[in-house]
Chains A and B, each alone.
Chain A
Amino acid sequence: MRSVLWLRARGGSRVLVYALLAASAVWVVVPLLWAVLNSIKTLEDTFRAGAIIPFLQFVPTLTSWRTVLMDPGILHALLTSIVVSAGTTLLVLLISLPAAYSLARFDFFVSSRDVTLWFLSQRVLPPVVLLVPFYIMMVQFHLIDTWTGLIITYSTFSLAFGVVIMRDVFRDISKEVEEAAKVEGATPWQIFVWIALPLSVDGIVVTAINIFAFSWNEALFSSAFTSLDAQTLASFILASRGTRDVNFNLAAANTLLAIGPPVILSFFFQRYLARGLSLGAVKG
């Protein structure tokens, strides 16, 4: 519904609104467009002035994309990123959904709000603080440069998020349905699996996307713990950086490959985004 402010706005104000929105769109799109164009240019075209519009001003080529997608190192990093992110997402959901449900429905010897805040406190901790003990732990358990090591690490940082945000989602489910099922003799477990989970699918999906994106984008721990076998796309990119000899075209293709999956996933789920990002503190 149009805002009353918009309906009462004069022509000049309306033009200004669109001008500012257009400017912000340009601001957001320019780096991405720059990456897209560079990824389909030859090296010569990259540094030639006036090569902006494909087909008209330069001949697009898929050479960079072919190089990137045929590079065994990048493909392995891509596979690692997918396995580690998906593995983390599943593990975190498996542990945090029951905990979140329990905290949403029951009270403990301390209030469930305090337990939730305790979980939340793990989220505030700067991850780099845990770098030393995790590094030593990874060495001791021979988990350096393994998928398992990364999944355990990332799950630790996402668990609190999963618990806090899913508790908020479960609390929104009307208790009446659950009470009815209880009267009919359903066990708490049955109520959780057959009523609470199906009613929370939207929230679970948004939580999953957030956890997936976090694991996909994480660079500090993956750079510290992996060198070859379990290098993720993020640590691969960080390892290949250098201000002198960056190949613009390959860098562009790499960037798009790396930022694509989580961004595309998020487009499908615009609802709940603010709520997820603020750990349930902001509804919307």
Chain B
Amino acid sequence: MTIAGAAGRPESAPYLTRRRSHGPGDERVFKYMMVGPAVLWVVALTLFPLFEVLRYSFADYVLGLGITHYVGLGNYAEVLESARFWHSILVTVIYVLLTVPIEVVFGFLLAWLVNLHAPGTKFFRMLITAPLFTMEVAIGYLGITMFSAQGGLVTSLLRLVGISIPWLSTATWGLTAAMILEVWRWTPFVFLLALAALAAIPDEIYDAAVIDCESHWQVMRHVAVPLAWPVMTIAVLFRLIEGFKAFGLPFALTGGGPGTSTQLFSIYDYLTTVEFFNFGKGSAMSIVMLAMLSVVIVLFFGQMRRRIG
């Protein structure tokens, strides 16, 4: 390194700058060399494949032969007329719209409690974040043993109080079981973001708030919630986007069954592509899904644009 050696000799700087003005030391060359590989990677492995999906969605693709012929909007017609497709969309929407609000409420309330900094809350903070990086497929798999009719933890506990629920043999309860585990798995995400938002509120604001407000409840409603709102918006958008990707947890728990009743969109798309090798239909399905998601995506970008400097 030349930094120390050049110390105290400022006259050398212009010489060095001039000498390097056209080599790799030049900032104008350097910045493109640094960012180039990443841009090329994304162009080759995301944008190009995305273009390919669009192409395949208008075609009949046979593995080994390639595109045999173009079918126009045939794949789209097949998708849009398929009851199974609309069922998978319905199940996904139910799944997302029921889990995300619960995660947001739980996550925010837990963050509120932890942010009180009562003695020992560091321990709780760490515990609450534990599910955050757990493998979803493994949680779904473990869920089978929790919701199993024979000896399952939840089933047995409920039976003690006289409730008998056919968790994994019906669509409604199977989906409910998946959503319970989904909430378990993802509440820590909202919790951490909410905690960051609450921690960023200066103490003085709370000092003033406790004088004006009658109860904790009022402080939360009139002070903390409005101040944490922007961050909570980000959390909700993240969870909506991630929620629509849900695959591993419900698939491992129910296998999409009984029958095809708990096949979320990603599961159905996956099966269409990988088990039935119907690449054209799989592609068309992806494009339709992307179009439906675009509202959420646009909102998300609006928020991120504002927050990224």
Q: Do A and B come from one complex?
A: yes
Query: Does B141 lie within 8 Å of A254, measured CB to CB?
Result: yes
Q: A2-B117, A185-B13 are in contact. Are A115 and B35 (CB under 8 A)?
A: yes
**Most chain A C-beta atoms within 10 Å of own C-beta, residue among B37, B138, B300, B301:** B138
**A234–B137 CB distance below 8 A:** yes
With CB as the reference atom, state the residue of chain B lying closest to A29: B127
Given contacts A185-B13, A194-B1, contact A5 B63 (CB under 8 A): no
In contact, B283 and A234 (Cβ under 8 angstroms)? no
Contact: B118 with A6, CB < 8 Å?
yes
Interface contacts beyond A132-B279, A168-B308, A284-B197: sample of 10 additional A-B pairs, CB < 8 Å, sorted by A: A9-B216, A132-B286, A135-B274, A185-B17, A224-B273, A246-B145, A251-B141, A266-B129, A270-B126, A278-B231
A 253-280 to B, binary, CB cutoff 8 A, 1 in contact else 0: 0110011001101110010011101111
Say yes or no for B259: interface residue by CB 8 A criterion. Answer: no
Q: Mark B126-155, 1 if CB is under 8 A from A, else 0.
A: 111111111111111111111010110100
A136 within 8 A of B: yes
The chain B residue with its CB closest to the CB of A164 is B308
One digit per residue, 1 when the CB lies within 8 angstroms of any chain B CB and 0 when it does not, for chain A 116-137 equals 1101111011111111111111
Expressed in whole angstroms, the Cα–Cα distance for A189 and B56 within the complex equals: 43
B133 to A266, Cβ gap below 8 A? yes
A38 close to chain B: CB less than 8 A: yes
* Cβ A136 vs Cβ B2 within 8 A: no
Q: Which residues does chain B contribute within 8 Å of A233, judged by CB atoms?
A: 135, 138
Query: Which of the 9-residue segments A55-63, A68-76, A96-104 touches chain B?
Result: A96-104
Say how far B246's CB is from chain A's closest CB, in angstroms.
10
What is the bound-complex CA distance between A49 and B159, given in angstroms? 12
**A194–chain B nearest beta-carbon distance, Å:** 6
Whether A102 contacts B142 in the complex (CB less than 8 A), given A156-B45, A274-B192, comes out as: no
Q: Is B103 an interface residue (CB 8 A)?
A: no
Q: How far is the CA of A242 from the CA of B156 in the complex (A)?
A: 20
Of B19-27, B76-84, B94-102, which stretch is located at the interface?
B19-27
Nearest B-chain residue to A238, judged by Cβ: B137
- Chain A residue with minimal CB distance to B234? A281
B residues with a Cβ closer than 8 A to A are 1-3, 6-7, 10, 12-13, 16-17, 20, 24-25, 27, 30-39, 41-42, 45-46, 48-50, 52-53, 56, 61, 63, 106, 109-110, 113-119, 121, 124-146, 148, 150-151, 153, 156, 168, 181, 184, 189, 192-193, 195-197, 199-200, 203, 206-207, 210, 216, 219, 231, 234-235, 238, 241, 244-245, 247-248, 251-252, 254-255, 257, 265-266, 269-270, 273-274, 279, 282-283, 286-287, 289-290, 293, 297, 300-301, 303-305, 307-309
Contacts of B283 in A (CB 8 A): 132
Name the 8 nearest CB pairs between A and B, nearest first.
A284-B196, A99-B38, A133-B49, A102-B34, A98-B34, A262-B133, A274-B196, A185-B16
Q: Across the interface, do A248 and B52 meet the contact criterion of CB distance under 8 Å? A: no
Report whether A21 and B279 are in contact in the complex, using a CB–CB cutoff of 8 Å: no
- Residues of A within 8 Å of B127, CB to CB, are 25, 28-29
Contact present for B137 and A128 (CB under 8 Å): no
Q: Is the CB of B195 within 8 A of A117?
A: no
Closest chain A residue, CB of each to CB of B297: A124
Among A17, A116, A163, A189, the residue within 8 A (CB) of B118 is A17
CA distance A258 to B254 in the complex (A): 19
Q: Are B304 and A117 in contact (CB under 8 A)?
A: yes
Known contacts A124-B241, A131-B274, A274-B192; A139 and B63 CB within 8 A of each other:
yes
The A interface, classified by DSSP as helix, strand, loop or mixed, is: helix
B137 with A237: CB separation less than 8 A:
yes
A184 contacts which chain B residues (CB < 8 A)? 2-3, 6-7, 13
Structural contact, A27 and B184, CB atoms closer than 8 A: yes
Across the two chains, which residue of chain B brings its CB closest to A280? B308
* A35 contacts partner chain B, Cβ-Cβ < 8 Å: yes
Indicate if the CB atoms of B139 and A259 lie closer than 8 Å: yes
A47 to B50, Cβ gap below 8 A? Answer: no
- Tell me if B286 and A217 are in contact (CB < 8 A): no
Interface: A8 (CB within 8 A): yes
12 examples of A-B residue contacts, CB within 8 angstroms: A3-B117, A20-B113, A25-B127, A31-B184, A99-B35, A122-B42, A128-B247, A189-B24, A209-B133, A246-B148, A251-B142, A273-B192
Nearest B residue to A119 by beta-carbon distance? B42
A204 near B: Cβ within 8 Å? no
Task: Decide: A241 near B116, CB < 8 A? Known: A28-B128, A29-B127, A254-B138.
Answer: no
Q: How far is the CB of A131 from chain B (nearest CB, A)?
A: 5
Decide if A21 touches B113 in the complex (CB within 8 Å).
yes
* Nearest CB in chain B: distance from A239 CB, A: 10
Which residues A212-245 have CB closer than 8 A to chain B? 213, 216-217, 219-220, 223-224, 233-234, 237-238, 240-243
Give the complex CA separation of A223 and B141 in angstroms: 15
Tell me if A160 is interfacial: C-beta within 8 Å of chain B. yes
Tell me, in angstroms, the Cα distance from A234 to B139 when the chains sit together: 11
Q: How far is the CB of B169 from chain A (nearest CB, A)?
A: 8
A217 and B121 form a contact (CB under 8 A)? no
Does the CB pair B269–A131 fall under 8 Å? yes
A131 to B275, CA, bound (A): 12
Evaluate whether A217 and B118 lie within 8 angstroms (CB atoms) in the complex, with A5-B219, A159-B42 already known.
no
Q: Which of A137, A252, A279 contacts B145 (CB 8 A)?
A: A252
